[in-house]
Amino acid sequence: MARDDISRGEADRLRRLDDAARLDRTFEIIAAKGVVWVWGDEDEVLFTEDGERRTLLPVWPHATVARMENEGEVAGEHAIRIPAKAFLNEWLPQLEEDDAVIAVFPVEDRIAAVLDLADFRERLTAALR
């Protein structure tokens, strides 16, 4: 198991939390580990869209939960590790240009929260203090 991974059992326990608890735990874990996880392949990060046709970037607190959510979908896709500070300083400005929002810790058809970039930045900055 890589240093950023958790067991599937621990990941499953996190996945079963209600939305509010998954949201809170996501920021706690990102702050503790200093890492945000997204999904993609060698060429790009994968976005999704919601019923309101907003562009969503799904993020997870651990590679294991990202894999459990996406496993078996497309060969070559994998969890992508992004340092939290790089996410704040480099990714969020780019996401703003892309008019995207953040889908925090999606599990099946449940997203813990959809946060606009300002809310995500505020919560992550506070967690990292």
Domain ranges for the chain: 8-128
pLDDT tens profile 90-126: 999 999 998 999 999 999 989 999 999 999 999 999 9
Q: Let me know: does 35 contact 82? Beta carbons within 8 Å.
A: yes
Domain 8-128: top CATH class: alpha beta
Distances (CA, A) of 7 to 25, 55, 103: 16, 30, 23
Question: HSE-up of 91 (CA within 13 Å, CB side)?
Answer: 25
| 3 state SS for 45-60 | ECCEECCCCCEEEEEE
pLDDT tens profile 42-97: 889 999 998 889 999 999 999 999 999 987 767 889 999 999 999 999 999 999 99
What was the pLDDT predicted at 4?
A: 59
Q: Tell me the whole-structure pTM to 2 decimals.
A: 0.92
Please report, in angstroms and rounded to a whole number, the separation of the first and last CA atoms in the chain: 29
